[in-house]
Amino acid sequence: MTKRGGTEVFRITGARQGLADDVRGRQRRYVISMTVRTLSVIAAAVLWNIERHVAFVALALGILLPYVAVVIANAGRESAPSLPSTFVPTPARPAIEAPNLKKSSDQS
């Protein structure tokens, strides 16, 4: 996530996106889906006598897209992100080896 000034901002809470932003995003996705549906139905009408198989595909898209758009628009809010972990593991330290004890008779 970046701020307008170009500095990077980190999300440190588990707060969800604001409701107004969520609704705006859903509306944007729905309008885009319905625009694609309208264009596909127009393409089906224009291509009906020219390319019948392409017209069938465009018509099928125009029939199925409203259902998909409504399901996507009503999918619900995003799940709340998990809180950042406050547990900091201790760094792994190598075990200290026992000193190499030599017998006094070996050290002559």
Dist. CA 23–CA 20, nearest whole Å: 5
14 within 8 A of 80, measured Cβ to Cβ: yes
Query: pTM to 2 decimals?
Result: 0.53
Query: Taking the chain (108 residues) in consecutive chunks of 10 residues, what is each chunk's mean pLDDT?
Result: 60 68 84 88 89 89 85 69 60 71 58
pLDDT at 23: 82
37 within 8 A of 66, measured Cβ to Cβ: yes
Map residue 8 onto helix, strand or coil.
strand
The structure tokens 């547990």 sit at: 87
